[in-house]
Chain A
Amino acid sequence: MIVRMSPLDIDATVISNVRLSADYNVLTLAAPEIGAETEPGQFLMVKPGLGTDPLLRRPFSVFEVLRDDLGTVRAISILNKRAGVTTGRLYTLEPGARVACLGPLGTPFTPPVNGGEAWMVAGGVGLAPFATLAEALAALEVPATLFYGARTGEELFYLEFFERLGVRIVLATEDGSRGTHGRVTVPLETALGALPAPGATTVYACGPEPMLAAVARLAARHDQPCEVSLERVMGCGLGGCYSCVVPVRSPGDPQPHFVRSCIAGPVFDGAAVVWE
């Protein structure tokens, strides 16, 4: 059975909109009530403004939970990449605009087993769930590494944020402008091959589906546990519409079944997902 906190719907004011590049921005939203309840890996259903076109909300990972000096949650942020109408609007919003935020939703990441390390593997906008995970790992004193891939070096963001938390960073870019030339799975595979013991390193991944499939296979081949955060077209975020399904194989059942990524996920055991 899935146990979860009651989600809140906050008509949040945009506090700031920092454009990181021509496509990426970080939108800081006055929804501390959601931030205070959010666990790493959980998401929001977001809609800028009223109106019926676009009609539905869009799912976004909670990127940062922002606290003041006393540790009180003041805001949350989302990492946005311009792709469609809603993300285009979210890119252009100015401070003072309103964004409806429903959350926190979904099943969070599972912390690593005692004594183990945590490796986060991010592709592009898939960096989003790892800021809060890195903070949680630092609080648990779990040694953490971020494998982070992007198209170009200009699209690698928040490196200082992760460095400050003591996260070891391994970069890869498709154009070779920074880090390993190629996909992030290249340095990941090398590192997995160098691990002394199976099962001691938990791999967390978020990014494009082919990357997730590759990471899950690599982790399985090296006997390391792996959790993936999947992005699906989502209608409601609460399990009502059955649109965001993922084929998953459960233990003891050879037949895969569709499960709703909004409530059974977005975080899944990488070994349970049936990849295309």
Chain B
Amino acid sequence: MDLSVRIGSLEMPNPLIAASGCFGYGLEYEEVVNLASLGGVAVKGLFLNAREGHPPPRIVETPSGMLNAIGLQGIGVHRFIDERLPRLREAGARVIVNICGTTIDEYVELAKILSQEEGVGALELNISCPNIKEGGIQFGCSLTGTHAVVSAVRKATTLPVIPKLTPNVTAPATFARAAEDAGADAISLVNTFLALAIDVESRRPRLSNVLGGLSGPAIRPIAVRMVWECRQEVKIPIIGMGGIMDARDALEFMIAGANAVQIGTANFVDPFVWGKILDGLTSYMQRHSIARLQDLVGTMDTSAPAAAHA
């Protein structure tokens, strides 16, 4: 059985990628997961410099989901290269570095710095974090901005370039098109949904940042819809994510049009989820006589709805 997937020059043995912001820098999970067994590891978003992030509380639970406003706390690209990348390389991880900037020049500089390092498999452009004012979201919410940042990074690197799209726009598929036109190797979606939770007794927001990004199973059907819409619009690989908890959820994204998937919140609930999802994918392939998992991508049959079952 072939579960492999290719995104530009990045070849992955399976489509399961640890989602940025949900897996630290990967090494935090070395004792529970063989990092080389994952399709890829998208490390926590990196700016050029270290950042402290927002004061706590940074997360709050909501029905079947969670809001976060971490504020991209991070060690900066140089410490990442010095302290984390060598160990990730040693562990055999296929590293997708998520990069964040406040200007196009910062994205370009990050891309150039990381392109010189051995062990970087791809760059994911964070143009969609809802939690920081000065971050890339201004690019992610504008079609011309998305095009501009993707093409600038495209010119600066030969690494696969994967802009991560926001769901907080009317038509994410138009952003997918802008990214493809600008030379993106793939797109990843969705980042979190901008959201708010209030403590009614005190009438105070439940996060220090007031607003946060909603993730988890609560968003999954919306994310699946957005992946499906993007699949109609672009030819490049799509990395789908949003509340995947098990193999069926991952398969749903793939049938909607995702070539690979990212798993975030589920890893918080169960850090051993990776092997379980992988087993679920292979047993599905056996049951459905699918030799190549990529053959499943975008195969939703709209000729009739599925039979209802209780």
Residues of A in contact with B (beta carbons under 8 Å apart):
4-7, 9, 47, 52-57, 100, 102, 232-233, 235-236, 238-245, 257-258, 263
Query: In the complex the two chains form, is B32's CB within 8 Å of A238's CB?
Result: yes
Query: In the complex the two chains form, is B268's CB within 8 Å of A235's CB?
Result: yes
By the criterion of a CB under 8 Å from any partner CB, how many residues of chain B are at the interface? 34
Our pick among B32, B58, B269, B272 for the contact of A242 (Cβ within 8 Å) is: B58
Complex interface residues of chain B between 69 and 86 (CB less than 8 A to chain A)? 70, 73
Query: In the complex the two chains form, is A258's CB within 8 Å of B268's CB?
Result: no
Our pick among A47, A52, A233, A236 for the contact of B267 (Cβ within 8 Å) is: A236
Our pick among A5, A238, A245 for the contact of B53 (Cβ within 8 Å) is: A245
| A240 to B59 alpha-carbon distance, docked (Å) | 13
Query: In the complex the two chains form, is B24's CB within 8 Å of A242's CB?
Result: yes
Query: In the complex the two chains form, is B66's CB within 8 Å of A245's CB?
Result: no
Q: Kindly list chain A residues whose C-beta atoms are within 8 Å of the C-beta of B270.
A: 9, 100
Query: In the complex the two chains form, is A240's CB within 8 Å of B60's CB?
Result: no
Our pick among A7, A52, A56, A245 for the contact of B268 (Cβ within 8 Å) is: A56
Query: In the complex the two chains form, is A55's CB within 8 Å of B58's CB?
Result: no
Q: Kindly list chain B residues whose C-beta atoms are within 8 Å of the C-beta of A242.
A: 21, 24, 44, 53, 58, 70, 73
Query: In the complex the two chains form, is A243's CB within 8 Å of B56's CB?
Result: yes
Complex interface residues of chain B between 49 and 99 (CB less than 8 A to chain A)? 52-53, 56-61, 63-66, 68, 70, 73
3 shortest interchain CB distances as A-B pairs: A239-B28, A236-B268, A243-B59
Query: In the complex the two chains form, is A235's CB within 8 Å of B24's CB?
Result: no
Query: In the complex the two chains form, is B66's CB within 8 Å of A55's CB?
Result: yes
Query: In the complex the two chains form, is A53's CB within 8 Å of B56's CB?
Result: no
| A242 to B65 alpha-carbon distance, docked (Å) | 17
Q: Can you list, as one digit per residue, whether each of B7-21 has a CB less than 8 Å from chain A (1) or not (0)? A: 000000000000001
Q: Kindly list chain B residues whose C-beta atoms are within 8 Å of the C-beta of A238.
A: 24, 28-29, 32, 271
A-B contact pairs, 19 of them (CB 8 A): A5-B31, A6-B32, A7-B32, A52-B216, A55-B65, A55-B217, A55-B265, A102-B271, A235-B59, A236-B267, A236-B268, A238-B24, A238-B29, A240-B268, A241-B268, A242-B70, A243-B58, A245-B56, A258-B53
